[in-house]
Amino acid sequence: MAIDPKGRSKPGYERHMFVCGHERPPEATRPSCGRRGSLALMQAIKRAAKEAGLSNIRVQKSGCLDFCEFGTTAVIYPEGIWYTLEGEDAIAAMVQHLATGAGAEQHEMNITAEEN
Ligand code: FES
């Protein structure tokens, strides 16, 4: 049996955040989070979470989460709350969610279905 070098006894995290890092070419028909600077934002969230002393959380890049038209996309589990990362306070709000499981409602993704 393998031994975890970090001393963990079971897999998983208290909270797990995925930030879309997908980037499409400029001529693509759909926008992409990578072109909106999502990876720099992800790094800033990681830094802020570390500075806040959070442990047992993980923030990482994902592929396209398929909500490309709604801004820079992220989701945090286990709550399963989807976010559009915009605005100066987005980083602090994400750290708040990672710490407590809530508190970033103002950044929740707002989806409106296309009218038929
Ligand atoms: S490119 Fe980010 S959700 Fe699709």
11 C-alpha to ligand 1 centroid (Å): 27
User: Distance from the CA of 42 to the center of ligand 1, in angstroms?
Assistant: 14
Q: What are the pLDDT digits (tens) for 1-58?
A: 889 999 999 999 999 999 999 999 999 999 999 999 999 999 999 999 999 999 999 9
Whole-prediction pTM value?
0.94
The residues with which 60 forms a beta bridge, in sequence order, are 18
CA nearest to 43, candidates 70, 26, 19, 66:
19
Answer yes or no: is the C-beta of 79 below 6 A from any ligand 1 atom. no
The domains located in the chain, with CATH, are 26-107 (3.40.30.10)
Phi, psi of 26 (to 5 degrees): -55, -30
- Which one of 19, 29, 35, 66 would you pick to mutate in the ligand 1 pocket, going by the greatest count of ligand atoms within 8 A of its CB? 66
